[in-house]
Structure 1
Amino acid sequence: MSKILLFSLVSNFTCLSAEEDMKTWFGDPDLQGVWTNASLTTLERPDEYESLLVTEEEANRAATFSAEFTDAIDNPYEEGETPKAGENVGGYNTAWMDPGTKLFKINGEYRSSILIYPENGKLPRKWVRWGIEAPSIYRMFTQANHPEERSLGERCIVGFGSTGGPPMLNVLYNNHYQIVQSPGYVMILVEMNHDARIIRIKGSHLPDHIKPWLGDSVGHWEGNTLVVKTKNHHLQQRFRAAIRHQILITETAEVTERFTRTSEDEILYEFSVDDDVAYRDVWKGEMPLRKAEGKIYEYACHEGNYSMANILAGAREEERRNQ
């Protein structure tokens, strides 16, 4: 009997200690640390998958294909072969790329997409192709008449592809986030482009005419879950493009995020986007943020953006050739 009682006391103490360890010194659930959302799982479901859940065989096949594709990029020529004159020499060395090496898991199950709603894993766009059916929105950030017509990611103002969010999505590289908490605030440092999201706890939203680069975020706690609502999205953050996804987040959209610490090494990140200007329905997604080793170092995107002059000059030359 005494052994049973002792075991019960030790078990209860262990549970209480674990709960206390997951709290900040001021009593809020502890989300702090450096985290990554790097993964081969994409926002929308690829056509080869029929459902949200993926078998281990399918997940292994995706990982193998990604590794072989990366190796092919690194070694486009046979041994001793040299590029032909004028041939495209390629872009980044893959040492700069870090999209992840496998599909992510939630509750022990591989996922084919970040999107969980709509159930088909596709964005409920009002326009199937931004550039054709929503030309004014698309062209706003894909022309080259002046620097402001280029995307914010290209101009190194914020990261591309909504890596800074909200919602915070995985991209080709630099998928790290550092969360720091203090009484009344949660700060998320986004590796690319070293942006800091300041989330006020139990605060009020800013007036509608004030639109920060990453929107205006206000949070509150629901048990151990941080719930963040973001409004007042910046006009120039409308079109967010990456290699693996393109999304629109218009100024009147409302994005709701949920951060729940599920273990020492993982946060479940959930989000929903309500934007009736660009979409026929709300869309929702979820993905894990996994603990990363080391620190986040400065993302030195550019010093002066010397390429901008060449981009604009190239556009003028193209116009002359087309006259």
Structure 2
Amino acid sequence: ENGHWIEYYAATRQASLIIDPKNGRLPPMTPEAAKRNREMRDGLGPPSLAGVEKRADSWLDFDLWGRCITKGLIGSMLPGNLYNKGNQILQVPGYFVIRNEMVHETRVIPLDGRPHAGPNIRTYMGDGRGHWEGNTMVVETTNFLPNIAMNGINFALLTDQLRIVERFTRTSPDELSYDATVEDPGTWTRPWTMHVPFKLDPNYTIFEYACHEANYGLSDILKGAREEEKKKAAAEQK
């Protein structure tokens, strides 16, 4: 059955979205990933706190979500989005389709057992393959582009070693259990798993995600940075 699913907050003892490790926390990052993460967060923070300048030299200084390209595979599914929170799941012959309202992303996942694309073919949302294990749809996704920020997960910049296994289990006519195991040895010291309950809303409407790369927000930030540079240069000449 096809339908629209949104995350909801039920009465549950689950204190964290992360169910493995058991302490509900992300595993430690590798030293290289910690450095990448720190540099990215410093670039997003105020210069007075981070001591970082030239944070808006070009559009490349902004993460992909800030550029309206992608929020990443898990980021688009995560609860906590203040807008565009819906997910539509379609089951059609031979395919499992997931449409995220956040950043209007759609994954068309083959179910015919075909192998993943070659290692040189990579995308922001990866290359997914699905199969049934009883009543659970299991989707394994690989072939991600590197340096994608998994927004909502500490802004971690990931590597091309990323592998995500999602499990969709319908636990009642209007409830869906969503589990995702994330493995990236270039970012974390061990895999971790998160769990999110979704609820069916037949009356939900997916709206346009009215954001695109090079919109006025990004261009205005870059223009503002150039003006600040002009003011600073003029002050130094006095």
- TM bucket by the smaller chain? 0.7 to 0.9
What amino acid sits opposite 2:140 in the alignment? Answer: K
- The residue aligned with 1:314 is 224
Tell me, yes or no, if structure 1 residue 218 matches structure 2 residue 218: no
- The residue aligned with 1:171 is 80
* Structure 1 residues not aligned, in runs of 5+: 1-29, 39-102
| Distance in 2 separating the partners of 1:287 and 1:199 | 21
- The residue aligned with 2:14 is 111
Mapping 1:173-212, distance limit 5 Å: 173=82, 174-201=84-111, 202-212=113-123
| Distance in 1 separating the partners of 2:120 and 2:26 | 28
Q: Residues 237-272 of structure 1, C-alpha deviation per residue, up to 9 Å, x if partnerless? A: 2x2334x84334321111111001111111100111
Tell me, yes or no, if structure 1 residue 288 matches structure 2 residue 190: no
| Distance in 1 separating the partners of 2:142 and 2:158 | 10
- The residue aligned with 1:134 is 36
**Contact 1:268 1:289 survives alignment (8 Å):** yes
More strand by share: 2
Q: Residues 6-27 of structure 1, C-alpha deviation per residue, up to 9 Å, x if partnerless? A: xxxxxxxxxxxxxxxxxxxxxx
Tell me, yes or no, if structure 1 residue 276 matches structure 2 residue 185: yes
Query: Residues 303, 123 of structure 1: CA spacing in aligned structure 2 closer, same or farther, 3 A cutoff?
Result: closer
Please give the secondary structure, in 2, of the residue aligned with 1:170.
coil
| Distance in 2 separating the partners of 1:135 and 1:247 | 6
Q: TM-score, normalised by structure 2?
A: 0.80
Shift of 1:37: 1.6
- The residue aligned with 2:25 is 122
| Distance in 2 separating the partners of 1:277 and 1:137 | 16
Q: Residues 177-221 of structure 1, C-alpha deviation per residue, up to 9 Å, x if partnerless? A: 001111111111100111101111122111111112211110111
User: Which of 108, 122, 144 in structure 1 is aligned with 2:56?
Assistant: 144
Please give the secondary structure, in 1, of the residue aligned with 2:13.
strand
TM-align CA RMSD: 2.9
- The residue aligned with 1:234 is 145
Query: Residues 209, 136 of structure 1: CA spacing in aligned structure 2 closer, same or farther, 3 A cutoff?
Result: farther
| Distance in 2 separating the partners of 1:241 and 1:135 | 12
Query: Residues 221, 145 of structure 1: CA spacing in aligned structure 2 closer, same or farther, 3 A cutoff?
Result: same
What amino acid sits opposite 2:199 in the alignment? Answer: R
| Distance in 2 separating the partners of 1:180 and 1:297 | 17
- The residue aligned with 2:211 is 301
Query: Residues 285, 136 of structure 1: CA spacing in aligned structure 2 closer, same or farther, 3 A cutoff?
Result: closer
| Distance in 1 separating the partners of 2:138 and 2:58 | 39
| Distance in 2 separating the partners of 1:222 and 1:121 | 26
Mapping 1:235-254, distance limit 5 Å: 235-237=146-148, 239-242=149-152, 245-254=154-163
Count of equivalent residues: 220
Mapping 1:6-85, distance limit 5 Å: 30=1, 32-38=2-8
Please give the secondary structure, in 2, of the residue aligned with 1:287.
strand
Shift of 1:159: 3.3
Shift of 1:172: 2.6
Please give the secondary structure, in 2, of the residue aligned with 1:193.
helix
* Structure 2 residues not aligned, in runs of 5+: 45-54
Does 298-307 or 139-148 show the bigger shift?
139-148
What amino acid sits opposite 1:34 in the alignment? Answer: H
| Distance in 1 separating the partners of 2:131 and 2:157 | 26
**Contact 2:71 2:103 survives alignment (8 Å):** yes
Q: TM-score, normalised by structure 1?
A: 0.61
| Distance in 2 separating the partners of 1:171 and 1:161 | 15
